[in-house]
Structure 1
Amino acid sequence: MKNTILLLLAGFSSYAQQVKVSGKVTDTLQNPLAYANILAIPENDNEEVRFAITEYNGSYQLSLSKNQTYNLTVSFLGFTPHTKVLTTTEDNLIQNFVLKENPDQLDEVTINYTPPIVVKKDTITYDVSKFVTGEERKLRDALKKLPGVEVDRAGNVTVQGKKVTKVLVENKTFFTGDSKLAVNNIPADAVDKVEILDNYNEVAMLKGLQDNEDMAMNIKLKEDKKKFTFGDIEAGAGIKDRYLINPNLFYYSPKTNVNFIGDLNNQGIKSFSFRDYLEFEGGFGKLLSDASSYFDLFNSDFARYLNNQDYTANTNQFGALNIRQAINNVTDVSGYIISSNSKTDTESHITNEYLNNEDPYFENRTTTNNFNNFFTIGKLTLNYKPSFEEDFAYNSFIKVTNNDSKGLINTINPIQNNSIASNTDINALNLKQNITYSRKLSKNHTGTLEATYTFQNDKPLTEWLTNQQILQGLIPLEEDELYDILQTKRSSAHSVNAIVKDYWVLNNFNHIYTSVGVNAAFTDFYNQDVQQLSNGTINNFNTAGFGNDFGYDFLNTFVGLEYKFQFGIATFKPMLYTHFYSWQTQQFDEKSNHTKALILPQFTTKIEFNNSEKINFKYSFNARFPGIEQLANNFVLNNFNSVYKGNATLENQLYHTVSLNYHKFSLFRNLNLNLNTNFNKKVEHFKNVTQLQGIEQYSTPVFFDLPEHSWSVNGAISKKINKIRYKLRSNFNYNDFYQILNDDTDLNISKSVSSTVSAETFFKKLPNIDIGYKKDFNAYRSSNVISNFENDNFFAILQYDFLRDFIFKADYAFDSYHNKSNNTKNTFDTANASLFYQLEDSPWGFEINATNLFDMRFKQQNSFNSFLISDSKTFIMPRIIMFKVAYKL
């Protein structure tokens, strides 16, 4: 801590040695020039180059060292650059500049420097060489040094407080476009410039028509890398037979791009996470606009395996190949294949407090699992762009998964002590075909067509083994020495979605959009639960109402009308969608047909004060229909302690969503501010009715018309003062919802507040540190029982580039957990460190690193639902020490 304080004091001391040079840049008519570049090159080699970008009103501010001489150059596209020699004193200076229009644009080739940052309306271009030292290894290391750019530890990139949703290399999508693969694998020394493209749209003619908030990052390679093979290979070994092999190979040419990323390790590094999976499915933001798609993915068997973040052992094999070939000037063919095979061991100890009893009812549960997770994902894309006025794309996607697991659950509770072994085997196939076609129909009309066909087939098998009866009264077990329960499931779905849309531009301030679409889904669900007796006979649970053979056909046709108009700095878009629904359910020979029409309005407003200050407001009235397993109205065994039965009479949920977002960014002031609030009100929705006896439960969904609310407010502000960036993040969440438990209906309320304050240094020759403190408060009220939790987290990340050839990295985290309701306290801390050496101009690099330095064995956290509060210890991998060798091509 003492060293940290000294670093911060050094930063303030350095800041105290600065003077401010400020003023305005205008043309000869006194019109302000926004986004003009001011570059200050010091005559003293020990001083740094400084720069600034003018605000929308032409104002700028530079922080320069006292008593130094600088060559100032002010430039703006279409104007003659202005140069001036400036010597600072002890006082702040005001310096205005007037630029003359350049009648001959070709004269600009005489400029003998490249501005470090060039800002246009929707594009920021960074000259990476102006910010890096040459010691950066991966793209992420270079990006962290660009003003306004932040990279978190997972590899997610935000620029001006907005997340980058797509990554391009030389204007072509890199693999899936997810930032993680790019920033963690592309060598830093291959990058020339980084372009940030706001409101990015792959179809250029639709920019300004579609309300696209996406932000893309385009990596421009150095000239000697544009037709070149480059990359690196890393290999490592450690104690207790630890190993790592990580090749990253890239070939780029004007017509052919080939990228290969591989990873083989048993040190707990997971190459593909659930967040990555969401990006493959369209991205988190897109999925949230369709809540049913997101929750279906989140609860899928495939996602359940990817969500494991902490484990006691992990072996990971990962390979990704991406190829893009330009057939001619208007046609591109690209494809990727990603394959992963991982073996994971997990262990957790959980204390469950059940809230349905007047007296406390506790269960201690220990769960161990061994997972084998294999998947292959492939995609083939054809892009045809004969002109600006026409665009066609075809995508073919396939996902094959095979997951199996073996688990053991030990439960100790007041009713019984029991051990349950489980075996699971899941095979799944997913196919998707998609076409998009856009065409400029006339000067004022643009038309688009998008159609998708999807086929999904899941076949999970699950077996539970125990020597004591479970779910007594819920499943018809026969007496046996060993109870062997086998469940077979099959789920298949064909779906077709198509939408045709016309964009009618009346003038620059008024647009009318009309759309016609159809969504059709044909799904089947089958399950059978049986007991395999020791004498070889089968006890089929169908006699007790188990077993489904359920069909669900759903058709949604809709017509939409949108009116987009601009008034001053505000853009408004009211929307009205009329939906006609029809659906049919069939359980064995019992059929049921339904129809319904709904009008669902939406409304958006965007107020753009300038390019870096915006307000967005969104409202929508939504309908969500049930999934097939919510409708299948025979019993299904969910787990060793849970039985579920669907309800074929369910129709649809209705809910309101409202969001308000404020964003402000100032490169001039090194300030980034984001405020967001989201509100959700369920008007009519599904609610599980649960009967709970001990730890065993039976639940079924019903239609519920009492409103439930959720509200969240979050904000973040960061300010960079000289060499230190300060951040404050805070969020508040509120939820009220009803539980129907053992025939009682109660209103539950949960609240949480979380705040993080941190500081990050950007010294050139001193060690850099990122330190922070996070405080969480959680309160949960159920059946007049109030539970309170608190978490404290302190973290510090250190990086020091020294003696030109060495890079030292270390991180430390301290967590303190407190369940105030039962006065449970726990603390744990984790630390990692690495030392990397690479001689200048040598392709060889060497590294020694250690993870979990303190050899901590578990993490502790809490969770809660409508009738259960859980305190869990999740065990993690032990200390690992590795020696690595890297070779740069």
Structure 2
Amino acid sequence: MLIKHLVLILVMSISVALQAQTITLQGKVSDSLQQPLQYANILAVPVADNIDVTFAITNQEGNYKLQLEKNQNYTVTTSYLGFLPNVEDVNLDKDTSNNIILKENLDQLDEVTITYTPPMVVKKDTIVYLTDKFVTGEERKLKDVLKKLPGVDVDRSGNVTVNGTKVTKVLVENKTFFTGDSKLAVNNIPADAVNKVEVLDNYNDVAMLKGLQDSDDMALNIKLKEDKKKFMFGDIEAGAGIKDRYVVHPSIFYYSPKTNVNVIGDLNNTGVKSFTIKDYLEFEGGIGKLLSDAGNYFKLYRSDFAQFLDNQDYKSTANQFGAFNIRQSINQVTDLSAYAIVNNEKNTTASNTINTYQNIDQPFTEQRFANNALDNFFSIGKVTLEYKPTIKEDLNINTVIKVTNNKGLGVINTINPSQDNTISTTNNVTGLNLKQNFSYSRKLSKNHTATLQSIYTFKNDQPITNWLTNQQILQGLIPLQMDANYNIQQTKTVKTNSVNTILKDYWVLNNFNHLYTSLGVNAAFNSFNTQDLQQLSDGTINNFETAGFNNQLHYNLMDTYLGLEYKFQIGIATFKPAAYLHFYNWQANQLSHGISNSKTVLLPQFTSNIEFSNSEKIDFKYKLNATFPTVNRIANNFVLNNFNSVFKGDANLSNTLYHTASVSYRRFSLFRGLNYSLITTYNKRIKSIKNTIQLQGIEQFSTPVMFDQPEQALSVSGRFSKNIKKLKLKFNSRWSYNDYYQIVNLNTSLNSSKNFYNTISLETNFKNHPNIEVGYKHATSNYKSRGNLTQFLNTSFFTNLEYDFLNDFIFKADYSLDTFNNKTTNNTNQFDMANASLFYQTEDSPWGFEVSASNMFDVKFRQTNNFSNFLIQDSKTFVLPRIIMFKVIYKL
């Protein structure tokens, strides 16, 4: 019934949009020589106060289109830099064409008074939105403002895309906001403080390097209203709910010409995470690191710290988060900024997983129940000094420190053909990470610009793990002594000192030819120490060292390289072939054994860009990559990975080699309300490090080997959106194919996986009617190995409703119906989630009130699935129960 009602609302909204009494005024804007004027502004200002201002921007052919109310009086102003504005009064009762010719302004020094500022201005790399022209006044946060800007999308997590490109940095008044990540900004900056939003494509922190360094960054620069530029503003939110639920969320900002202070806090036990695994990966470099250095990206993702952050669903949770940011202008050329982020979480999780072991001689199924209690603490701080004495010189020095202390207590119950067992696990992960960054850029002459960047990193991670069970585990792999209970302990210490330095010269031969040279050194000094032992009930210690356990490894890697890049332009196309010559030297010393090796590797690169217009371009990138194994993979002695896994490294491992290539096409048209993109990526591993696995029941022993068989991965993804009056249609699709070898129980097999993901949605954009979004997701996964095919089908119907009514009320609701189907086993599960809130605040009052409900149907768990080398997993993860909250908000 709920779905039927929501669909009915959508149909009614579509009917309103399509039957609205509007007419179309369209035509072409050109100069006196009949040359089209791209990005001319056409502004239609109604005489009546209750009708919205309408605007348009011409496309590259000079065409424009305005949607006007029928039989209403408008003043239509057409303006373009360097030309006299054209002003016409219109009142139309049917669709009309009107071509406009602008005359050149021969006396541009005269003062020109413009009564109305265009709501949107498009330049080559910049889009400027005047937000007052798009909002209705009921918006609470920056996220609500951005959703109403043409070409801008904001997802529920706070990630922002503009014309299909992801925003990678957020600035406020030209200064980086906290870490620059969009989530803190869009979810906390009050909507009524925003005057303009600037979108800066190909953004570079150092202005003199724009056009020299290739940048895929897109930045949002938030311009504040004049009364907020030397003022304290923000809001404080506090709430309570049934079953002892609470939330306290202050967001306070102070801005002045010389001093900026931002304070954000969050205390809640409602399941809202202020800092997630995605935030951490973005903080460390994000998806850009995945594309340029996949090894380091996955190393981050699989780190002990990241694994504690990865949990998203809880049986219970308590979150304490605080963030402080200050920026002080010491003088006109020097800025000092600092931020600190502190987070503490206490969570409990529970899951029920069915593991299907296949690709072995005797396939079997394991049922595993897991319960965990987690206590995660971390703090991140950064201090930055920026010195820009002239436009030809830029110095940036910053220090980042991260401290972690994560504790976990888990109980795993496994039921399998070999053994039914219960294992208790405790974890205590402490870590210190220090990073010192020095960056200096200087314009040496008209044709030469030089940069020097040096980064020093120190890491010290010390995870301590304890496994407790009353049955023997890993028999034949660890030397357990008989005891009533088996208490197995592991202490691990991983230390890294690294220095990365690069000196680069940018030589501009002429406007169409550049030559860049680089000299760099990457040096890493690692130590890896492990100790595995058994503590018996009488207090004696059974050290596993005599069985080949315990590691004391020192691993040093020196990478010295020379790089040459040639960048040239032919018409609308830019090309940049490059080559980097690397001289690798590495040494590994394990106890009394040591090895030393060296290698020279030439790594070519190639990028090209074809820019048909400011709104249409094609990019191509190719790179040959080389990575070296992490320190744990070359440790010669055994180490416990888990209660059912033992790992042994190999000091003779060398580097991997793999090709990466991508082609992307993007186009958007403000004239047609159209935005689409297509991205294809291809990876081919020609030399990789692969684990060989000996599997006995659920227990496994693995060790890495160099593998020369080629493996490949291909993905194609596309985005499409189209505005139709007050409707917006969106379609996202992604297809991926991956083939790879696995070595299990001495059998080598070629596996393949195919994934196909589609999302289609339709949403409305009214000012005086309910706004609703309805969508459908469809995802299929196919995994094939040794003739066995596993198929999953996941579908989801979702809808979001937002209604501003009676001037002072805002109602929001969202609903999703998810269906999980394991087509191989014919197992189907279905669950639905719903949330709703009602917010009230009068325009002249600082007080606001909200009643909200989450997980309204009191769903107990979520269903997920995944597969690995030999394992198919169907998991149920238990979630928080229904939560009903009452909140009070005070706006400063």
TM norm structure 1:
0.99
Once residues 306 and 711 of structure 2 are traced to their aligned partners in structure 1, the CA distance between those partners, rounded to angstroms, is: 28
User: Which residue in 2 is equivalent to 1:493?
Assistant: 496
User: Which residue in 2 is equivalent to 1:138?
Assistant: 141
Residue among 170, 177, 181 paired with 2:180: 177
Alignment pair present for 1:127 and 2:127: no
Query: Is the partner of 2:537 in helix, strand or coil?
Result: coil
Once residues 46 and 203 of structure 1 are traced to their aligned partners in structure 2, the CA distance between those partners, rounded to angstroms, is: 46
User: Which residue in 1 is equivalent to 2:538?
Assistant: 535
Residue among 520, 524, 527 paired with 1:521: 524
Alignment pair present for 1:59 and 2:43: no
* 1:763-774 aligned within 5 A: 763-774=766-777
Once residues 650 and 510 of structure 1 are traced to their aligned partners in structure 2, the CA distance between those partners, rounded to angstroms, is: 41
Q: Confirm or deny: 8 A CA contact 2:817 2:833 kept in the other structure.
A: yes
User: Which residue in 2 is equivalent to 1:784?
Assistant: 787
1:13 shift after superposition: 4.7
Alignment pair present for 1:589 and 2:592: yes
Query: Is the partner of 1:240 in helix, strand or coil?
Result: coil
Q: Confirm or deny: 8 A CA contact 1:266 1:316 kept in the other structure.
A: yes
* 1:739-754 aligned within 5 A: 739-754=742-757
Residue among 869, 872, 884 paired with 2:887: 884
Tell me which amino acid in the other structure corresponds to 2:35: N
Q: Confirm or deny: 8 A CA contact 1:732 1:753 kept in the other structure.
A: yes
Once residues 522 and 888 of structure 1 are traced to their aligned partners in structure 2, the CA distance between those partners, rounded to angstroms, is: 52
Once residues 471 and 108 of structure 2 are traced to their aligned partners in structure 1, the CA distance between those partners, rounded to angstroms, is: 86
1:32 shift after superposition: 1.9
Once residues 532 and 173 of structure 2 are traced to their aligned partners in structure 1, the CA distance between those partners, rounded to angstroms, is: 54
User: Which residue in 1 is equivalent to 2:193?
Assistant: 190
Percent identity of paired positions between Structure 1 and Structure 2: 62
User: Which residue in 1 is equivalent to 2:32?
Assistant: 28
User: Which residue in 2 is equivalent to 1:309?
Assistant: 312
Query: Is the partner of 1:4 in helix, strand or coil?
Result: helix
Residue among 547, 550, 554 paired with 2:550: 547
Once residues 224 and 108 of structure 1 are traced to their aligned partners in structure 2, the CA distance between those partners, rounded to angstroms, is: 27
Q: Confirm or deny: 8 A CA contact 2:13 2:764 kept in the other structure.
A: no
1:69 shift after superposition: 2.8
Residue among 232, 248, 251 paired with 1:248: 251
User: Which residue in 2 is equivalent to 1:237?
Assistant: 240
User: Which residue in 1 is equivalent to 2:678?
Assistant: 675
User: Which residue in 2 is equivalent to 1:290?
Assistant: 293
1:9 shift after superposition: 4.7
Once residues 417 and 711 of structure 1 are traced to their aligned partners in structure 2, the CA distance between those partners, rounded to angstroms, is: 41
Q: Is the alpha carbon distance of 1:786 and 1:153 closer, same or farther for their aligned partners in structure 2, counting shifts above 3 Å?
A: same
User: Which residue in 1 is equivalent to 2:22?
Assistant: 18
1:768 shift after superposition: 0.5
Structure 1 range deviating more: 282-291 or 626-635: 282-291
Q: Confirm or deny: 8 A CA contact 1:620 1:658 kept in the other structure.
A: yes
User: Which residue in 1 is equivalent to 2:831?
Assistant: 828
Alignment pair present for 1:649 and 2:658: no
Query: Is the partner of 2:188 in helix, strand or coil?
Result: coil
1:44 shift after superposition: 3.8
Query: Is the partner of 1:747 in helix, strand or coil?
Result: strand
Once residues 316 and 390 of structure 1 are traced to their aligned partners in structure 2, the CA distance between those partners, rounded to angstroms, is: 44
Q: Is the alpha carbon distance of 1:238 and 1:13 closer, same or farther for their aligned partners in structure 2, counting shifts above 3 Å?
A: closer
Q: Confirm or deny: 8 A CA contact 1:355 1:783 kept in the other structure.
A: no
Tell me which amino acid in the other structure corresponds to 2:272: I
Query: Is the partner of 2:688 in helix, strand or coil?
Result: strand
Q: Confirm or deny: 8 A CA contact 1:176 1:279 kept in the other structure.
A: no
1:5 shift after superposition: 4.1
User: Which residue in 2 is equivalent to 1:68?
Assistant: 72
Residue among 697, 700, 711 paired with 1:697: 700
Q: Confirm or deny: 8 A CA contact 2:360 2:744 kept in the other structure.
A: no
Alignment pair present for 1:730 and 2:733: yes
* 1:302-701 aligned within 5 A: 302-701=305-704
Q: Deviations over 1:149-202 (max 9, x none)?
A: 111000011111111111000000000111100000000000001111111111
Residue among 31, 34, 47 paired with 2:51: 47
Q: Confirm or deny: 8 A CA contact 1:455 1:495 kept in the other structure.
A: yes
Once residues 656 and 316 of structure 2 are traced to their aligned partners in structure 1, the CA distance between those partners, rounded to angstroms, is: 42
Q: Deviations over 1:279-301 (max 9, x none)?
A: 22123213431112211110111
1:387 shift after superposition: 1.1
User: Which residue in 2 is equivalent to 1:86?
Assistant: 90
Once residues 181 and 110 of structure 2 are traced to their aligned partners in structure 1, the CA distance between those partners, rounded to angstroms, is: 40
Once residues 429 and 588 of structure 1 are traced to their aligned partners in structure 2, the CA distance between those partners, rounded to angstroms, is: 26
Query: Is the partner of 1:110 in helix, strand or coil?
Result: coil
Query: Is the partner of 2:298 in helix, strand or coil?
Result: helix
Structure 1 range deviating more: 41-50 or 1-10: 1-10
Q: Confirm or deny: 8 A CA contact 1:811 1:832 kept in the other structure.
A: yes
Tell me which amino acid in the other structure corresponds to 1:413: N
Q: Deviations over 1:26-45 (max 9, x none)?
A: 22232222111101122344
1:832 shift after superposition: 0.5
Residue among 149, 153, 166 paired with 1:150: 153
Q: Deviations over 1:833-853 (max 9, x none)?
A: 000000121000000101100
Q: How many residues align?
A: 888
Once residues 313 and 105 of structure 2 are traced to their aligned partners in structure 1, the CA distance between those partners, rounded to angstroms, is: 61
1:796 shift after superposition: 0.5
1:782 shift after superposition: 1.4
Structure 1 range deviating more: 738-747 or 35-44: 35-44
Q: Confirm or deny: 8 A CA contact 2:575 2:607 kept in the other structure.
A: yes
User: Which residue in 2 is equivalent to 1:263?
Assistant: 266
Tell me which amino acid in the other structure corresponds to 1:569: I
Q: Deviations over 1:763-794 (max 9, x none)?
A: 11111111100011111011211111100101
Q: Is the alpha carbon distance of 1:210 and 1:689 closer, same or farther for their aligned partners in structure 2, counting shifts above 3 Å?
A: same
Tell me which amino acid in the other structure corresponds to 1:380: V
Q: Confirm or deny: 8 A CA contact 2:520 2:562 kept in the other structure.
A: yes
Once residues 561 and 832 of structure 1 are traced to their aligned partners in structure 2, the CA distance between those partners, rounded to angstroms, is: 55
Q: Confirm or deny: 8 A CA contact 2:551 2:636 kept in the other structure.
A: yes
Once residues 644 and 253 of structure 1 are traced to their aligned partners in structure 2, the CA distance between those partners, rounded to angstroms, is: 56
Once residues 729 and 80 of structure 1 are traced to their aligned partners in structure 2, the CA distance between those partners, rounded to angstroms, is: 43
Once residues 116 and 738 of structure 2 are traced to their aligned partners in structure 1, the CA distance between those partners, rounded to angstroms, is: 56
Note the residue ranges of structure 1 that are not aligned, 5 or more in a row: none
Query: Is the partner of 1:327 in helix, strand or coil?
Result: strand
Once residues 104 and 793 of structure 1 are traced to their aligned partners in structure 2, the CA distance between those partners, rounded to angstroms, is: 61
User: Which residue in 1 is equivalent to 2:231?
Assistant: 228
Q: Confirm or deny: 8 A CA contact 1:756 1:772 kept in the other structure.
A: yes
Q: Confirm or deny: 8 A CA contact 1:747 1:783 kept in the other structure.
A: yes
Query: Is the partner of 2:144 in helix, strand or coil?
Result: helix
Tell me which amino acid in the other structure corresponds to 2:67: S
Q: Confirm or deny: 8 A CA contact 2:669 2:675 kept in the other structure.
A: yes
Q: Is the alpha carbon distance of 1:647 and 1:238 closer, same or farther for their aligned partners in structure 2, counting shifts above 3 Å?
A: same
Q: Confirm or deny: 8 A CA contact 1:80 1:108 kept in the other structure.
A: no
Once residues 554 and 10 of structure 1 are traced to their aligned partners in structure 2, the CA distance between those partners, rounded to angstroms, is: 63
Once residues 569 and 364 of structure 1 are traced to their aligned partners in structure 2, the CA distance between those partners, rounded to angstroms, is: 59
User: Which residue in 2 is equivalent to 1:718?
Assistant: 721
